[in-house]
Structure formats: C-alpha cells, structure tokens
Amino acid sequence: MAITFQAQLGPLERKLLGEVWSRQSVTVRELLADGKIRLAYTTVMTTLDRLYKKGLLDRVAEGKAFRYCCRCAPEEVPQLSALTNMQRWIANADVSSLHLSCFVQAVGEHDVRLLDELRALVENKRRELKNGRHS
C-alpha cells in the first residue's frame, strides 16, 4: 500500500504502516510469519513502537507482545500527525499568549485569508465545547 504523505516517516516506517493497514490488526510475529518482510524481530518491534509513539498506531497487550492496529485511514495521516505534534508541543511547552500571538502573526504573514479560517475554526470549536461535544 502506498503512503503519499510522510515527511516525518522513514521508508521502513511507511512500509510497516502500510502492512498494518492492509492486515487491520497484527503482531510483530504475524508480520514476519509469511516471510514477506525479511527483517529482524527487534527491528520490526522497534519500528512499530515508534509508529505507536508517533500516534499512528494503537496497541493492546497480547501475552508478552502487542497487537497493533492503525488509528486512522491512510488519507487521515497528515491530520493525525499534525494533531499529535501540536498536542505534544502544548503538553511539553509553557504555552502562553505570547506563543499564540506569534502563531497568529506567522499565519497572517503567510496568508491573511488563513486568519479568517482560524477564526471560524475557533468559533466552531467553542460551539462544540459549549454543547458538550468534543471532536
């Protein structure tokens, strides 16, 4: 399965992510069982762990291993990746109004029309939160 977006993913990550998508749910051992992927168990395990930490895979314990599945469809990867990166930034930084004003300034300097889109997105999110819906 070809993955078109992935500035942040290496070739092996893209390949294994494609395999997980095509199989829906898989363990490292299952990925290696048919011989299609000819890598060390630890290489596949580490790569799937990285994809999990990047927010692209979910996993559940299955014995001493994990079963992995994708958190999104291939076309949703850019949005999920951007959201995960923003959530990490917010969680790990002392985000203040200074950061937000710099963001708004950078957006406005890039394309002033994006400021209108940003305002509409903020207003929509406020309405959702007010009505008790979270997306």
Residue 60 forms beta bridges with which residues?
A: 67
Residue 135 forms beta bridges with which residues?
A: none
pLDDT-based confidence at residue 134 (cuts at 50, 70, 90): low
CATH number at residue 42: 1.10.10.10
Host domain of residue 120:
75-130
Q: Does some domain include residue 2?
A: no
Whole-model pTM: value is: 0.63
pLDDT in tens, 19-36: 999 998 999 999 999 888
**String of DSSP letters for 47-86:** HHHHHHHTTSEEEEEETTEEEEEESS-GGGHHHHHHHHHH
State how many domains the chain has. 2
Which residue, among 116, 20, 119, 27, has the nearest Cα to 65 in the 3D structure?
27
> 3-state SS string over 88-107?
HHHHHCCCCHHHHHHHHHHH
pLDDT in tens, 51-85: 998 888 999 999 999 999 998 887 787 777 777 77
Q: Does some domain include residue 4?
A: no
